[in-house]
A and B are shown apart, each in its own frame.
Chain A
Amino acid sequence: GAGVSQTPSNKVTEKGKYVELRCDPISGHTALYWYRQSLGQGPEFLIYFQGTGAADDSGLPNDRFFAVRPEGSVSTLKIQRTERGDSAVYLCASSLIAGTGANVLTFGAGSRLTVL
């Protein structure tokens, strides 16, 4: 597609529920990234995919968080047993390639998650 698409744009759930957030990157972009942004802060890195594999998942806060990219395009971020502290905007980004610090990321509009 023309840009990075994220769905849903807003998700309200109850504590303890399971949530899936979807990211559709720019066509042809092999690298895909998930970030989390809290109010008044810059994005916090969660996980990075190169193709189908998670090249770096060091930013995932705990084992309740998991992400997949089975066909090397669309990715899903999965959060189990949600907690109120998970409330944030989850951003997805993609880039043509990864590896060098000079490459620019293209971000989606984000999925705002609210855990009640």
Chain B
Amino acid sequence: AQSVAQPEDQVNVAEGNPLTVKCTYSVSGNPYLFWYVQYPNRGLQFLLKYITGDNLVKGSYGFEAEFNKSQTSFHLKKPSALVSDSALYFCAVTPPEGSNYQLIWGAGTKLIIKP
């Protein structure tokens, strides 16, 4: 079965330190990969996506993600964390033959940035 795994329920990082939120997937073919962020009482916001091309994708708020086909991973990274980055982060995957609403979602990772 196709799936997305976010192995960490919560990640704690000190402000100013680099952060990584992990995502691995099990989807056939060459999928499209997404990261969304959810702030309290706000909707899911698109951060970045990988469709094809350069494996390093840059997105909103200084975030980036690296697509690794051999490891089937798409980890989210930021060089220097801000307290305002504290939120719930979701990785999602669409098989290329699928439509944009047929996303397979991870369970989410709560990111806590401590001052």
Q: Which residues of A contact B (CB under 8 A)?
A: 3-4, 9, 31, 33, 40-43, 45, 48, 56, 91, 93, 95, 98-110
Residues of B near A45 (CB, < 8 A) are: 101-103
Partner of A95, one of B41, B100, B106: B100
The total of chain B residues at the interface (CB under 8 A) is 30
Complex contacts, B34 vs chain A, CB 8 Å: 104
Known contacts A42-B106, A45-B102, A104 near B46 by CB under 8 Å: yes
Where the two chains meet, the residues of B that have a C-beta atom closer than 8 Å to any C-beta of A are: 4, 9, 31-32, 34, 36, 41-46, 49, 51, 90, 92, 94-103, 105-108
Given known pairs A101-B94, A102-B49, the reply for A107 and B44 (CB within 8 Å) is yes
Q: Which of B36, B43, B100 contacts A108 (CB 8 A)?
A: B43
- A108 contacts across to B, CB distance below 8 A: 43
A39 closest partner in B (C-beta): B108
CB of A110 within 8 A of CB of B43, answer yes
A45 to B102, CA, bound (A): 7
